[in-house]
Structure 1
Amino acid sequence: MQISQILDKVNSGDIALPEFQRGYVWTRDQVRGFFQSLYRGYPIGGFLTWSTKATNADARGNAAEKDGTIHLLLDGQQRVTTLFGVTRGTPPQFFEGNPETLSGLHFNLDTEAFEFYAPAKMKDNPTWVNVTALFQQGIGAHLVTVTTLAEGDTVLQATYFERLNRITQIKDRLVHIEDVTGPDMTIDVVVEIFNRVNSGGTKLSKGDLALAAVCASWPSARVTMKGALADWSDAGFNFKLDWLLRNTTAVVTGGAEFSRLGDVAMTEFKDGLQETVAAISYLLNSLGGRLGLDHDRVVNGRGAFPVMSRLLHHHRGTFPDSMTRDRLFYWYIHSFLWGRYTGATETALNQDLQALDEGGVDALIAVLQRSRGHLDIRPDDFIASSIGSRFYPLLYLLTRVHGAQDLLSGVPLKDTLLGRNSSLQVHHIFPKARLREYGYSKEEVNAVANLCFLTQDSNLKIGAKPPAIYLEEIAERMPETLSSQWIPADRLLWRPENYGYFLEERRRLLANAANSFLRVLHDGPYPVTLTEASGLPLRSATNVADHEETSEEVPGLSSLLALLANVGMAQPEHEAEVCDPRTGKAITIAAAFWPQGLQGETGTPVLLSPETTPAELKALESCGYRVFHSSESLGRYVSRLRAEQRAN
């Protein structure tokens, strides 16, 4: 098929460029090099499309073919976007990126070089021809310019015209299109095909492809979904398109697989998306109100949201009673504590969605209990748990629902604290510097059992004081404050040489507090211990600022994260628990963890862990994790990755 025909089909919608998450990523150098290759007749590769139904394709203006089929471009998105933007003079409607990347490309009639407009070099210099204007106006518009430049030299004039003609003929160049079609080409199969073809680039996820299929019939679907994500982000919660689509799939179909959306009418999907967005906002308010989980860092177990959204679907968007709400939250807490959705997410979700539909919340709890064996929290469960682990949100939850008090002021820690220095911060009961002097490891220093929450003002005042000093002062003034934070009263445990015994005792106290609260959720009574907001939650004053503190643990990490953000790569989870996806068992705590790859898609999981033991490294590699031991080594890998992408 000719390039011009491909672009016409893109313009009409017969060939749709799917709105994958990464958008347009090419640089001006890549655009320039691409047109240089086209001009010289070099191979540029073929394209891969996937034929899918478009139930209301006329939304794009007679977009689809007569049989209601749209061909989604899977491989070649960057190339087609570049061709469309340069030759048509405007980016396609779906475009996400810097439009300047596609504007101002010029061609030099003498050197045959492609460069972007530079006033000092090109202003008032007729040998530089605007490539977009050439495609839109044709060679005839440059007749006077070429004749003047040739100054009567007919050979040179013919050479100039031949060169311009070679550029305009780019649109007539034939390109092979491989179309993936047929009833056996499910989302799973097509994603596998794409990732094999595109092994050197960004991986495609099943969610990407499902969303592309939805957008083929409803072009503004992604914009609508991103609007909801932006609202939640403004409220302090960051979610991804795949996640929202998974929730919508569960609400609309009762199942987890994106392929189920193929049988859903677009009007039904639109209604389901609206219902899902409302359900998630309701859940976020309820989690903040009942459990105190009021910001992004402490809302764990996101894989459980499709199940909870489905329950609200059965009850017209609200909890039917406080008992149902509390038992659902009992299940939710246990689901993220024990990594219910760490491994085969779709399998576990389908099992849970079926249980919910058939037997309600009690059936959900029964399924989890059978898979887990018991639903009790034991002191040893807190061992090796640190910031980023499953038990970190549990500590925050207990702090909020039990009304734990600030150590210095005695004021209950809640989300209505006012003042610049009243926001909550993570506090190490035993200061890190003191513990390192005694040879304790990073995992021991950052153990959840060594953490509590304080106002910023109290955290600054305590600083690095030894516990034997500042805890004694607190015990004399407000002994109940220590017990509210589950800090052992035995003064011998406040000494660094007894730190191990301190952790052991505090783990016991935290486990008792957790089990007590969970029993209340399961068995009743069912009071509302915190105020449930009526609207979407605002960004809370209790957002815990601990990212900077954890980043300082690894030399060069802050600079590396700034570089990654600058080039559009994903930001990691900090001090994150990394698990074996097959068993859900924790392997290590990583300083930085990219569970879906550096590009925020479904690439190879990457982690930075300077203190990984040989046994942990072996376990991580067997699970397919890519492990780096320093910021410098990860930085070199990022540089190579970007170089490979530019070369492709």
Structure 2
Amino acid sequence: MKISQIIDKIDENQLYVPAFQREFVWKRNDVKNLFSSLIKEYPVGTILSWETNSPPELKGDTKYNEMQGAVKLILDGQQRITDLYMILKGQVPPYYSESEIKYDPRNLYVNVETLELEYFKKLKMQNNPLWIKLTDIFQKRVGFIDIVKTLKESQEVSDKKQYLIADNLKKIEAIPSRDFLEQSIPIKASVREAIDIFYIVNTGGVNLTEAELALAQISGYWPQARALLKDKLVTLAEEGFVFNLDFLVYVLLGVLHNMGSDMRKLHSEDNKDNIIEAWKKLDEKVLDYVFNMMRTQAYVDHTKEINSVYALIPIIVYAYNKDNKLSHEEIKKATKWFYYSQIRQRYTGQLPQKLDKDIGIVVSSESPFDSLLSIIKAERPLEITSDEFDGVGVLHPLFSLMRWYFKSKGAICLSTGLSIRKNMGKRYVLEWDHIFPYGLLKERGYDINNRFKYARAQEITNRAILTQTANRSKAAMQPDVYLKQVKEQFPSSLKLQSIPEDEMLWKLDKFEAFLEERRKILASELNEFLNNITESIETEVRLSVEELIELGENHSLELKSSLRWDYEESGVNKSLEKVIMKTISAFNNSDGGRLIIGINDAGEILGLQNDYDSLNGDKDKFEQHLLNLIGNLFSQEFASRKISLTFPTVQDNEICMVEVEAGDRPIFTKVKDKNGQTVEKFYIRRGNASVEIPEYSNVISYIKGRFDQNTIG
């Protein structure tokens, strides 16, 4: 079918999009790539259509009239067709409204001389007649004569250039005549069969999530599902809680099947009555109850503050099963677990598997949130240390915890004295600005050229809450001048935002000391805040190796394929041993952790046999070799006191688990530099990686915050 015919059929109500299709999600770069391929006459895929006399619920306001007879539905290719319609016609297709187009591509321009495609840039395009809006070409608002005439007003235009422009315009104008290869489902197919085919087609690609495919199946037996879920999303967004449809599908899976991984459980029409009943309860009672609880008890005012919204699902499932009848103590325990799930990033990877485990505990445990907290504790220490703030920016979940804590204290804006929870109107939107102005720090070397110093300038311990108006008036005042003014005007405001009140630390040359002191204050106060929410009952949780692998690499877990066997080179590579040592030293210098050898970072079990063979031995020889490496590089005392080795078997393969305790003294790793000289490097954990702190002054500062003062010689 030609592209122009597709557009015409949409306008003539002969081609529709079923409601079970997901929304328009293509980003502007996707559209640019599509038109680039069309101009170059590259293949752009196929569309899957279904001709039927009995269409399911349709997307948009359009209703099917039986008098129309058979109509076509787009089952696959909707994103491309929507983009084509908008660019060719300059309008949103009838099955969408303007508000539903998140990434509007209609200001896509083309350079008719080079065929370069770009979205409108005023400085680049405004006075350059070679840049033409694509829609204007397709709508015949601009043609060859217009372009050349405008060009000649400012320059000589050679015949060669005119021929080139004419040829390029023909390529663009030919796009509506391009054929879209079409595959069709026969008219005799039922709605259920059409959705099954849609599912099979899309599971072969990477475009749709499992939740989106599940929602398509649900819409097949409950046509109103997508519209009802979208209506709820709008209502929640008005209250500050912004989610996508995937989130609500996970909620349905959780409350109906007590899991988070197998979306196929929702595919069967046997779910229909239960899912309608479950949604009614969620919509009318449970969701509003949980989000009101988060706002009033956890001080979470909007989802922008949440690192992972999926931590809300176990709480929703619990409230659903308890019919919203949570005791005050249960609410406090849920809140406490939620906070830790954020700062310890429980749901940053392996989401379905973690939801399986956590929801399973919620529906079976007598004290579910204590048990869930014990799982987090088994993965990583709960206590917040001052060094965790080092170089951490506003996107880190610790920043959200700071905000929730400040709200719980009744913190106020430093400059206006207004509560940070109060709705103050547009002029008083809250912003997080530097206490020590970045402009002044930049002059002292805290710029992008020194990434560690730059990170400290942006660190959350150098941030305070200000209204937008106050922020602009504050500008680049010296920190001691500004903070003195704040203290005089609002004496309690600094303490309420955990800002050191020692005026000696407010001097610009005391910036590092200020950060160090505020890190300590925040670590102490946040730990106290979390501990005082409620007392948690310790439950013994020891994660299996399989569960650790499912977690994936994180702050306290590293996976390595081997100790010394290079799988790419199929031979021994002793430099890999140095990587192992680097990881061990980073764990020591941070919060401790586990290193598993014999598993690659994708979670594939490789085992240790190649390492064994390279040492002409077995597990004992491997263990002795590894301990010798650690002892020789660091110390025998460290190897015996801080290192624990075990050799579990997973999928018939022996692997090595290296458990490293958090060190009480810093350790440096000796390596050869590019000149062959031995140098000492200092590694720490940042996220799921071991990174070097390069500058000696930064190392000293980190050690002061992480270890006792007497560890520095």
**Superposition TM-score, scaled by structure 1 size:** 0.57
CA distance in 1 between partners of 2:43 and 2:414 (Å) = 69
| 1:331-380 C-alpha deviation (Å, 9 max, x unpaired) | 001001011010111111111001111112222222222222x3211212
Aligned-residue offset at 1:74: 3.8
CA distance in 2 between partners of 1:430 and 1:2 (Å) = 61
Give yes or no for the alignment of 1:226 onto 2:230: yes
Name which of structure 1's ranges 501-510 and 421-430 shifts more when overlaid on structure 2: 421-430
| 1:11-34 C-alpha deviation (Å, 9 max, x unpaired) | 799998723442799989989x99
The answer for the alignment partner of 1:253 in structure 2 is 257
Q: Which aligned pairs between 1:364-383 and structure 2 lie closer than 5 A? A: 364-372=372-380, 374-383=381-390
CA distance in 1 between partners of 2:253 and 2:23 (Å) = 18
Q: State whether residues 279 and 309 of structure 1, in contact with CA within 8 Å, keep that contact through their aligned partners in structure 2.
A: yes
Q: Which aligned pairs between 1:596-607 and structure 2 lie closer than 5 A? A: none
Q: Provide closer, same or farther for how the CA distance between residues 34 and 212 of structure 1 changes in structure 2, counting only shifts above 3 A.
A: farther
Corresponding letter in the other structure for 1:437 = E
Q: State whether residues 342 and 584 of structure 1, in contact with CA within 8 Å, keep that contact through their aligned partners in structure 2.
A: no
Q: Which aligned pairs between 1:47-62 and structure 2 lie closer than 5 A? A: 47=47
Residue among 349, 356, 366 paired with 1:350: 356
Q: State whether residues 379 and 556 of structure 2, in contact with CA within 8 Å, keep that contact through their aligned partners in structure 1.
A: no
Q: Provide closer, same or farther for how the CA distance between residues 43 and 387 of structure 1 changes in structure 2, counting only shifts above 3 A.
A: closer
The answer for the alignment partner of 1:537 in structure 2 is none
Name which of structure 1's ranges 459-468 and 300-309 shifts more when overlaid on structure 2: 459-468
Q: Provide closer, same or farther for how the CA distance between residues 82 and 468 of structure 1 changes in structure 2, counting only shifts above 3 A.
A: closer
Q: Which runs of 5+ in 1 are unaligned?
A: 51-55, 64-69, 102-114, 122-169, 196-202, 525-579, 588-614, 624-648
| 1:99-126 C-alpha deviation (Å, 9 max, x unpaired) | 999xxxxxxxxxxxxx9665999xxxxx
Q: State whether residues 21 and 208 of structure 1, in contact with CA within 8 Å, keep that contact through their aligned partners in structure 2.
A: no
| 1:251-278 C-alpha deviation (Å, 9 max, x unpaired) | 2221113222124522322333343344
Aligned-residue offset at 1:279: 2.9
Q: Provide closer, same or farther for how the CA distance between residues 350 and 72 of structure 1 changes in structure 2, counting only shifts above 3 A.
A: farther
The answer for the alignment partner of 1:194 in structure 2 is 205
Q: Provide closer, same or farther for how the CA distance between residues 501 and 213 of structure 1 changes in structure 2, counting only shifts above 3 A.
A: same
Corresponding letter in the other structure for 2:309 = R
Residue among 381, 391, 403 paired with 2:398: 391
| 1:614-636 C-alpha deviation (Å, 9 max, x unpaired) | x99xx99999xxxxxxxxxxxxx
The answer for the alignment partner of 1:272 in structure 2 is 278
CA distance in 1 between partners of 2:473 and 2:318 (Å) = 46
CA distance in 1 between partners of 2:197 and 2:419 (Å) = 51
Aligned-residue offset at 1:509: 0.8
Aligned-residue offset at 1:495: 1.8
Residue among 9, 22, 27 paired with 1:19: 22
Aligned-residue offset at 1:62: 11
Q: Provide closer, same or farther for how the CA distance between residues 265 and 376 of structure 1 changes in structure 2, counting only shifts above 3 A.
A: same
| 1:372-415 C-alpha deviation (Å, 9 max, x unpaired) | 2x321121222222111111111111111011233345x46243
Q: Provide closer, same or farther for how the CA distance between residues 493 and 312 of structure 1 changes in structure 2, counting only shifts above 3 A.
A: same
Residue identity (%): 22
| 1:463-507 C-alpha deviation (Å, 9 max, x unpaired) | 322122232344456543322221112222212222112111111
CA distance in 1 between partners of 2:535 and 2:212 (Å) = 41
| 1:192-212 C-alpha deviation (Å, 9 max, x unpaired) | 5123xxxxxxx3222222222
The answer for the alignment partner of 2:329 in structure 1 is 323
Aligned-residue offset at 1:510: 0.9
CA distance in 1 between partners of 2:332 and 2:198 (Å) = 37
Q: State whether residues 48 and 75 of structure 2, in contact with CA within 8 Å, keep that contact through their aligned partners in structure 1.
A: yes
Aligned-residue offset at 1:437: 1.5
CA distance in 1 between partners of 2:217 and 2:464 (Å) = 47
Residue among 361, 374, 392 paired with 2:369: 361
Give yes or no for the alignment of 1:449 onto 2:449: no
Name which of structure 1's ranges 380-389 and 320-329 shifts more when overlaid on structure 2: 380-389
Corresponding letter in the other structure for 2:204 = I
Q: State whether residues 20 and 212 of structure 1, in contact with CA within 8 Å, keep that contact through their aligned partners in structure 2.
A: no
Q: State whether residues 294 and 300 of structure 2, in contact with CA within 8 Å, keep that contact through their aligned partners in structure 1.
A: yes
Q: State whether residues 428 and 452 of structure 1, in contact with CA within 8 Å, keep that contact through their aligned partners in structure 2.
A: yes
Aligned-residue offset at 1:431: 1.0
**Superposition TM-score, scaled by structure 2 size:** 0.52
The answer for the alignment partner of 2:292 in structure 1 is 285
Name which of structure 1's ranges 263-272 and 289-298 shifts more when overlaid on structure 2: 263-272
Q: State whether residues 48 and 76 of structure 1, in contact with CA within 8 Å, keep that contact through their aligned partners in structure 2.
A: no
| 1:525-562 C-alpha deviation (Å, 9 max, x unpaired) | xxxxxxxxxxxxxxxxxxxxxxxxxxxxxxxxxxxxxx
Q: State whether residues 16 and 72 of structure 1, in contact with CA within 8 Å, keep that contact through their aligned partners in structure 2.
A: no
Cα RMSD for the two superposed structures: 5.4
Give the paired residue count. 453
Q: Provide closer, same or farther for how the CA distance between residues 496 and 186 of structure 1 changes in structure 2, counting only shifts above 3 A.
A: farther
| 1:135-164 C-alpha deviation (Å, 9 max, x unpaired) | xxxxxxxxxxxxxxxxxxxxxxxxxxxxxx
CA distance in 1 between partners of 2:216 and 2:481 (Å) = 61
Corresponding letter in the other structure for 1:366 = S
Q: State whether residues 17 and 77 of structure 1, in contact with CA within 8 Å, keep that contact through their aligned partners in structure 2.
A: no
Q: Which aligned pairs between 1:78-89 and structure 2 lie closer than 5 A? A: 78=80
CA distance in 2 between partners of 1:261 and 1:356 (Å) = 20
Q: Provide closer, same or farther for how the CA distance between residues 15 and 243 of structure 1 changes in structure 2, counting only shifts above 3 A.
A: closer
Give yes or no for the alignment of 1:340 onto 2:346: yes
Q: Larger relative CO (CA 8 A, sep 6+): 1 or 2?
A: 1
Q: Which aligned pairs between 1:573-612 and structure 2 lie closer than 5 A? A: 582-583=553-554
Q: State whether residues 20 and 208 of structure 1, in contact with CA within 8 Å, keep that contact through their aligned partners in structure 2.
A: no
CA distance in 2 between partners of 1:48 and 1:120 (Å) = 34
Give yes or no for the alignment of 1:466 onto 2:478: yes
CA distance in 2 between partners of 1:620 and 1:364 (Å) = 22
SS across alignment from 1:339: coil
The answer for the alignment partner of 1:303 in structure 2 is 310
CA distance in 1 between partners of 2:197 and 2:401 (Å) = 40
Q: Provide closer, same or farther for how the CA distance between residues 408 and 15 of structure 1 changes in structure 2, counting only shifts above 3 A.
A: closer
The answer for the alignment partner of 2:320 in structure 1 is 313
Corresponding letter in the other structure for 1:454 = L
SS across alignment from 1:265: helix
CA distance in 1 between partners of 2:255 and 2:16 (Å) = 29
The answer for the alignment partner of 1:515 in structure 2 is 527
Q: Provide closer, same or farther for how the CA distance between residues 176 and 421 of structure 1 changes in structure 2, counting only shifts above 3 A.
A: closer
SS across alignment from 1:211: helix
